[in-house]
Amino acid sequence: MSILVYAENWDGKFRKSTFEAISYAKKASAIFQTNVKTISIGLIDNTELERLGGGGADKVISYPNINKSNGKAIALILEKEAEDCRLIILSNTINAKIIAPRVSTKLMAGLITNVISHIDNAENICVKRQAFSSKAIETTKLKSNIGVLTIAPNAFEINNHSGNCQIEINEKEIDSDVIVLGKDVNKGKISLSEAEIVVSAGRGLKAAENWGMIEELADVLGAATACSKPVSDIGWRPHSEHVGQTGRAIAPNLYIAIGISGAIQHLAGVNSSKIMVAINTDPEAPFFKAANYGIIGDAFEVVPKLITEINNFKNN
C-alpha cells in the first residue's frame, strides 16, 4: 500500500506546489505507515525526477510520452497506479481539475478539493476545506474507502528529506480526446496561483502605461502581478491576471492591493490571503475593513517610496 501523488511539472520543472503535495503525502504516510509513490507526466530530465526524493518521495514513475493536457489519460494512469492505495494527493492547480474528478470517479473514491488541513486519523479521514469563497471552512469526511484530495497551494510547508527515490520510466502512450493546437504562455513570470506575494492594482492606476511601477514593486518582492476586474475588462491587463469572483481565487502569504476599492466580488477571490495591505486615496474604501495594514495615499506617491524602502530593507 502507498500514498499516490501526482507530481506535476511545468515544461520539465517541478514547482513549489509539487513539493507541497509530496510533503503533505509524506506526513500522511506516517499515519498510514506506508510509503509515497509519485507519478510524473511528460518529458523531464532524470536529475529533476531525483529532486522528488529530497521532497519525501520513495518512488517516482515517469510517463514521458503522455501530454499534460490529456486529463483522461493521466486519470487512467493514476487509477492503475493506485491499485493498492488508500489516498491520492494532488495540488489544487488548474491541471488537477481535469484529472482529480476523473480518477475519483473511476475508483468511486470521494473527492475533497481545496484541502487546508492535514490528515490525522487513518481510520476516519476528515479534513478542512475552503468553502463559500473563503467565507467559511467546511469539515468534510470521506465515506469511501479510497480518497482523492486536492490540497490548496501555498497552504502547507515543504519538508526536506535525505532519502533517495527509486526512478522508473514507463514509455506508455495514450491518445488524447482533445487536439492541442497551440499554447501561449508568459514564460519566466511567477505563477499567480502559487505565488507567496501578489502585487495587485486597480482602476486607481488610471492608465495601462502606469503599470511599470507595479511590475517593479512585484520584481523587488519576487511577487506575481494581478489586477481587479474593471482593469482586465478595459484591457489594461490580461484576463489571466484578474483575481476575484469571476477571475482567479488566490491565497498568497501577502496580497498588496493598490488603487483597488475592495468590492465584495474582488474580496471573494483574495480573502484567503494571510496578510493583506491596502493602498488607496479614499479612507472610506471598503478594502481598509478587510486589510491587515492600510496606507491612505496616492499610489503614484506611495508605490515608488515603498519600492525604495523594500530595496533599503533588502540591502541591510
Site residues (CB under 8 A) for another protein, limited to 169-228: 177-187, 189, 191-193, 196-197, 221
- Counting other chains too, the contacts that 219-223 makes at CB distance below 8 Å and 24 or more residues apart are 220/307, 220/310, 220/311, 220/314, 221/197, 221/254, 221/310, 222/190, 222/196, 222/197, 223/190, 223/195, 223/196, 223/197, 223/198, 223/199, 223/252, 223/254, 223/256
Give the one residue of 13, 80, 118, 141 binding another protein; rule: CB under 8 A: 141
Interatomic CA distance for residues 100 and 268, integer angstroms: 24
Site string for another protein, 21-60 (x = CB under 8 A): ----------------------------------------
Give the one residue of 48, 110, 169, 211 binding another protein; rule: CB under 8 A: 110
Contact positions with another protein (CB under 8 A) in 73-102: 75, 93-95, 97-98, 100-102
Give the one residue of 13, 135, 172, 206 binding another protein; rule: CB under 8 A: 135
Residue 311's H or E segment, with its range, is helix 299-315
Q: Residues 6 or more apart from 132 whose CB is under 8 A from it?
A: none
Q: Residues, the chain, total?
A: 316
Please state, in angstroms and as integers, the Cα–Cα distance from residue 107 to each residue in 7, 83, 160, 185, following that order. 19, 9, 31, 33
Q: Closest separation between CB of residue 57 and another protein, Å?
A: 22
Q: Which is nearer to another protein, 43 or 296 (CB)?
A: 296
Q: According to the binding rule CB under 8 A, does residue 264 interact with another protein?
A: yes
Q: Which is nearer to another protein, 35 or 210 (CB)?
A: 210
Q: Which is nearer to another protein, 36 or 198 (CB)?
A: 198
Q: Which is nearer to another protein, 40 or 56 (CB)?
A: 40
Q: Which is nearer to another protein, 2 or 93 (CB)?
A: 93
Q: Which region among 25-33, 64-72, 154-162, 198-206 touches another protein (by CB under 8 A)? A: 64-72
Q: Three-state DSSP class for 238?
A: coil
Other beta carbons less than 10 A from residue 73's beta carbon: 23
Amino acid at the residue 40 = S
Q: Residues 6 or more apart from 221 whose CB is under 8 A from it?
A: 197, 199, 254, 310
Site string for another protein, 5-24 (x = CB under 8 A): -----x--------------
Size of the site for another protein (CB under 8 A): 94
Q: Which is nearer to another protein, 26 or 273 (CB)?
A: 273
Q: Which three cell numbers stand for residue 88?
A: 491520492
Give the one residue of 31, 35, 48, 72 binding another protein; rule: CB under 8 A: 72
Q: Are 129 and 116 in contact (CB under 8 A)?
A: yes
Give the one residue of 31, 131, 167, 174 binding another protein; rule: CB under 8 A: 131
Interatomic CA distance for residues 311 and 29, integer angstroms: 42
Give the one residue of 46, 164, 166, 253 binding another protein; rule: CB under 8 A: 253
Contact positions with another protein (CB under 8 A) in 267-306: 268, 274-278, 288-297, 301-302, 305-306
Q: Residues 6 or more apart from 268 whose CB is under 8 A from it?
A: 133, 134, 135, 244, 245, 249
Q: Which is nearer to another protein, 171 or 177 (CB)?
A: 177
DSSP 202: -
Amino acid at the residue 91 = S
Q: Which is nearer to another protein, 166 or 186 (CB)?
A: 186
